[in-house]
Structure 1
Amino acid sequence: MATSAIDGKDAAAIQAATAGVAVCDRSFWGRIRVSDDDRLRFLHNQSTNDFQSLKPGQGCDTVMVTSTARTIDLVTAYVLDDAVLLLVSPSRREFLMQWLDRYIFFADKVQLADVTDETATFSLVGPDSDTVIEKLGAGAIIGQPYGNHISVDDIVVAVGSGLATVGYTLILPASNKQKVWSQILELGAVELSDRAWETLRILQGRPAPDLELTDDYNPLEVGLWQTISFNKGCYIGQETIARLNTYKGVKQYLWGIRLSAAAEIGSAIAIADEKVGKLTSYTETPEGHFGLGYIKSKAGGIGLKVQVGETEGEIVAVPFVSHEYPN
């Protein structure tokens, strides 16, 4: 979806997320609980990251992909003592429940439960998040690796904001939602609306389903290297991803695009008269117009001048994704 120009309140919240601390209610995102003895092996086989090496208290981002390695969703997983909690995009919750269920075979000890309605999720975003986390009694998590989490008063507090900005994600019982939300605001966090989150998502390059994550793209084109294990063995889509990596065969990449004016999502990106890509997301900020789009790798990267529909643009890096081949 396109985001319209943000108002003063959203601009202040984005500023807080950049230089202070903001909080976003992400309770409408999906939460799927995967339990029983084979849960780690099962998730290991269904997505791009290495679940078998994770211990309780750890977590990771992973991509659910089709058999031809096309992207379905970017998912954050938290390994608990007796289950794995998956935080999934709102538009993919029902699809992923059905899709995962389809791969549970007779002998598999795996249980799936949609726990979205009985839980809530908040993201603390910004460099001052530590102060809030400390006052919530979860100071022990500060400084730990991405995805690590602890449980305090029935609240799972995990490292990582869901954006490229530092922060934390909290998952808690829905019955506690209002109390904890009020507490966080009282501790100085500024409310970040869904629209402001969407603006930050685009500015930072976090890919979203139906826009950057579709049947047209694979995780290497998106630039989600941190979600992919290249030595974990077989999983759905693994052969395609391994081949693309081995032969450096990525034909297009997701980039940020600084635009001179508004542009329509779906617009062709061109150099001279040659189409080299497509605009997938667009937002307007007080600093100007910005978009995300896929560009053919042979066309170039950062600094490239392009035409997006009728609008001029320049390719820039976005912090959420990377197009460096890992060593």
Structure 2
Amino acid sequence: MRMAGLSHITATATALLPCFYNGTILRRSSLRLRNGGSREPKLRLRCVSPSEFDFSPPPIDHDLLDTISVGGGIVSEDGVVESFDNDDEALDAFDNGVVVVDLSHFGRIRVSGDDRLHFLHNQTTANFECLNEGQGCDTVFVTPTARTIDIAHAWIMKNAIMLMVSPTTCQSIIEMLNKYIFFADKVEIKDITKQTCLFALAGPNCNQIMSKLNLGDLIGQPYGKHQHYTFDGMPITVGVGSLISDEGFTMLMSPAGAVSVWKTLLSEGAVPMGSEAWEKLRVLQGRPAPERELSKEFNVLEAGLWNSISLNKGCYKGQETIARLITYDGIKQRLCGLELSAQAEPGSTITFDGKKVGKLTSYTRGRNGSSHFGLGYIKKQAASVGTTITIREDISGIVAEVPYLSRQHPPTNPTS
């Protein structure tokens, strides 16, 4: 795919994100785009400092969605890229190639102010006070009784913390956080979802594309590590991890620069994936989602989100409940993957030996519609991999391991 109007990046960007860039690396390198052997103009990609940016919000338009629509994407009335009519191809590319997904409908929350680290440290499950600029983590928003609200992916920046949350929870999380800001707290919460675009790059060939784009210094870095660059004259932040997996990368940018980034990724071989295929992938990977696996019905330990929880950081919302559950072995059920014999409706009862042991929370068909898979909470006595369960009276299922949950590591020593 040819890209028109590309030019060398100047020292000063001209259309920009809100004030959350803070890179300090002074590295300059060039990027050559290739298309069918023809030579394209070169882009220059480099890390930047915030002093180079005009921090006024960029104009909001629909150039990216127009570009995606012209390219065959199906876009909903509320601006969600639903499908490219290639779900099976995209799922295969996740396993064997590379996919790019427009996640701009996900929420982006900017938390700024001198007390931001301490504030989020107290309001979520992760240990923010041990993190430094350029690092990141997953953290869970919970109720005072440790019931789950959402998983947020956080980037620690120089002047702010960026939170990426699910599409359905952004506004409620902002309202909840604002309620906990006291008079003396130096904290500001801002929704910048409409002022930014968000892409996920995932699959085993991600590193090849990253190297071609002069982003190879992020390859092999820890989950959540991120750096700031300019791309075709526009600011972009790239972080390790694709929200659904520790592998892959996440890209946050101005709407004005999104079209160039999208076209470049496609020209380098990334397969576009819509939100419908992303939802299939979410279930197959086992990542919990709000209104499904994350709700006031289930606590954070039942959801198995151990990598997002600090057990020794002191008092925070939900901490007392989490401590009691661990101390008294109070985790009675856990989230599991389920290989199913037929289509099943979320909310259906799961039974084992004729007794109710849980509930199905998500369902999807596999590739080509030839298989059925679900997620559900199951009591511990029936939650071992390989156990045969029943949904309703006529659908059989086998408890299966799922990648996202298998990467969660309960501590062998709760105080560590």
TM-score (normalised: structure 2): 0.76
Partner of residue 225, structure 2: 148
Q: Once the two structures are aligned, what percentage of the paired residues are identical?
A: 50
Between the aligned partners of 1:324 and 1:186, the Cα distance in structure 2 is 38
In the alignment, structure 1 residue 326 sits paired with structure 2 residue 407: no
User: Contact 1:125–1:165 at 8 Å: present in 2 too?
Assistant: no
Match of 2:159 among 79, 82, 101: 82
One-letter amino acid of the structure 1 residue matched with residue 391 of structure 2: V
- 1:164 is displaced (CA, Å) by 2.7
Match of 1:297 among 377, 380, 395: 380
Partner of residue 313, structure 1: 397
Change (3 A) 1:275 1:156: same
Partner of residue 150, structure 2: 73
- 1:114 is displaced (CA, Å) by 0.3
User: Contact 1:259–1:291 at 8 Å: present in 2 too?
Assistant: yes
Q: Secondary structure of 2:186's match?
A: coil
Pairs within 5 Å for 1:258-273: 258-273=339-354
One-letter amino acid of the structure 2 residue matched with residue 237 of structure 1: G
- 1:152 is displaced (CA, Å) by 1.1
Between the aligned partners of 1:216 and 1:260, the Cα distance in structure 2 is 27
Number of matched residues? 322
Partner of residue 321, structure 2: 240
User: Contact 1:44–1:52 at 8 Å: present in 2 too?
Assistant: yes
- 1:298 is displaced (CA, Å) by 2.5
Between the aligned partners of 1:311 and 1:164, the Cα distance in structure 2 is 30
One-letter amino acid of the structure 2 residue matched with residue 311 of structure 1: I
The answer to which structure, 1 or 2, has the higher relative contact order (CA under 8 A, 6+ apart) is 1
- 1:273 is displaced (CA, Å) by 2.2
User: Contact 1:269–1:277 at 8 Å: present in 2 too?
Assistant: yes
More deviation, 8-17/180-189 = 8-17
Match of 2:199 among 122, 127, 131: 122
Match of 1:280 among 356, 361, 385: 361
Partner of residue 98, structure 1: 175
- 1:135 is displaced (CA, Å) by 2.4
Structure 1 residue runs of 4+, over 6 Å off?
A: none
- 1:324 is displaced (CA, Å) by 5.7
User: Contact 2:334–2:383 at 8 Å: present in 1 too?
Assistant: no
One-letter amino acid of the structure 1 residue matched with residue 276 of structure 2: R
Could you list the per-position Cα deviations for residues 87-136 of structure 1 after superposition, in whole angstroms to 9, with x for gaps in the alignment?
00000011011001000000000011100000000000111111222222
Between the aligned partners of 2:189 and 2:254, the Cα distance in structure 1 is 18
Between the aligned partners of 1:236 and 1:219, the Cα distance in structure 2 is 12
Could you list the per-position Cα deviations for residues 203-238 of structure 1 after superposition, in whole angstroms to 9, with x for gaps in the alignment?
111000000000011111011100000010000000
More deviation, 317-326/118-127 = 317-326
Q: Secondary structure of 1:254's match?
A: strand
- 1:325 is displaced (CA, Å) by 3.1
Pairs within 5 Å for 1:7-22: 9-22=86-99
User: Contact 2:124–2:317 at 8 Å: present in 1 too?
Assistant: yes
TM-score (normalised: structure 1): 0.96
User: Contact 1:72–1:214 at 8 Å: present in 2 too?
Assistant: yes
Partner of residue 3, structure 1: none
User: Contact 1:18–1:165 at 8 Å: present in 2 too?
Assistant: no
Between the aligned partners of 2:265 and 2:158, the Cα distance in structure 1 is 27
User: Contact 1:138–1:152 at 8 Å: present in 2 too?
Assistant: no
Q: CA RMSD in A?
A: 1.4
Partner of residue 125, structure 2: 48
More deviation, 24-33/10-19 = 10-19
More deviation, 133-142/67-76 = 133-142
Could you list the per-position Cα deviations for residues 287-306 of structure 1 after superposition, in whole angstroms to 9, with x for gaps in the alignment?
50000000011234111101
One-letter amino acid of the structure 1 residue matched with residue 385 of structure 2: I
User: Contact 2:147–2:298 at 8 Å: present in 1 too?
Assistant: yes
Structure 1 gap ranges (5+): 1-5
Between the aligned partners of 2:335 and 2:112, the Cα distance in structure 1 is 34
Change (3 A) 1:259 1:36: same
Between the aligned partners of 1:218 and 1:208, the Cα distance in structure 2 is 13
